Amino acid sequence: MDNGEQILQLVSDLPVMPEVYTELLGLLGGVDVDIDIVVKLTERDVGLTSVILRAANSPFYGGIVPVRTVRQAIVRVGLAAYRSFVLSAWMNCLVRACGALERELWEHSIKVAETTRLFAKSVGGFHVDEAYVWGIFHDVGWVVLWLKMPEKATEILSSASQLVGENVLFSRDVEDLEREICGCTHSELGRLAILKWELEADLANIVGAHHAPVDARSALVSLAEHILSGSRDHEGRDMELLRLEDIDVAALRLACAAYVE
Ligand SMILES: [Fe+2]
Ligand SMILES: [Fe+2]
């Protein structure tokens, strides 16, 4: 078996997306969406319920009055954005299988997603809900590494932490180590996993390129991650929260434009 076949083997029997998520993604991708059915399906899933309530009460969507029900939360964020949170809940299911990596990987994915969405909003020309999904899934390859090669994933994390401190998930410099230890990178595995789950090919390409951007969208994710890594101290603690008014939009536009074909 050559290296390419071995990599494909790794994504051949990944967890399957729960039926309620596939049903919701199908409904939300159509026209004349029946919100009653969307609410009922959502309430059947605890993870989904907690993701949408958290999102609707986040500063990005936050109103004066906190929302307490699934219906209020979906109405506040809108159906298009809700689709991105169904995908986010699926990522959350996957991350929960990652044992010791679970908390760090989920917090990292949320931070990169929120920052990518913030950048998308300030630069303009991007779909902000899609940008959130790019950030949420960018490191899904770590889930594959953890599920399929837990010892090697642990070895990569501990070797990488000696090189880059506590900021392993933020670092662009661990992929050589991954190739050396596993014969593949989390970016490649993430791209293949997304294709395996039959999610959008665009999402797969962005995930595959998040450490070596090939277009403005993968550049946006990479920049979000890079800026977040700079806002952490040597032990990986957040120095400060990024705010819209802190962003140098002109510099961000220039950085993205460099990747437009
Ligand atoms: Fe990554
Ligand atoms: Fe990352």
**Between residues 92 and 165, which one has the greater pLDDT?**
92
Distance 91 CA to ligand 2 centre (A): 14
Q: Global pTM?
A: 0.87
Distance 65 CA to ligand 1 centre (A): 36
- Residue range 131-154, pLDDT digits in tens: 999 999 999 999 999 999 999 999
Ligand nearest to the Cα of 178, by number: 1
Distance 68 CA to ligand 2 centre (A): 31
For residue 200, the enclosing domain spans 3-257
Which CATH number belongs to the domain containing residue 31 in this structure? 1.10.3210.10
- Residue range 228-260, pLDDT digits in tens: 876 554 444 444 445 556 667 787 787 777 765
Ligand nearest to the Cα of 191, by number: 1
Quickly list DSSP for the chain. --HHHHHHHHTTTPPPPPHHHHHHHHHHTSSS--HHHHHHHHHT-HHHHHHHHHHHTSTTT--SSPP-SHHHHHHHH-HHHHHHHHHHHHHHHHHTTSGGGHHHHHHHHHHHHHHHHHHHHHH-SS-HHHHHHHHHHTTHHHHHHHHH-HHHHHHHHHHHHHHHTT-GGG-SS-HHHHHHHHSS-HHHHHHHHHHHTT--HHHHHHHHTTTS--SHHHHHHHHHHHHHHHTB-TTS-B-----GGG--HHHHHHHHHTT--
Neighbours of ion ligand 2 (CB under 5 A): 139, 169
Distance 165 CA to ligand 2 centre (A): 14
pLDDT attached to residue 105: 94
pLDDT attached to residue 246: 63
Distance 215 CA to ligand 2 centre (A): 17
- Residue range 21-30, pLDDT digits in tens: 999 999 998 8
Distance 118 CA to ligand 2 centre (A): 16
- Average of per-residue pLDDT across 67-71: 96
- Average of per-residue pLDDT across 112-123: 92
| pLDDT reading at 178 higher than 60 | yes
- Residue range 36-62, pLDDT digits in tens: 999 999 999 998 999 899 999 988 887
pLDDT attached to residue 3: 75
Distance 14 CA to ligand 2 centre (A): 20
Total domains in the fold of the chain = 1
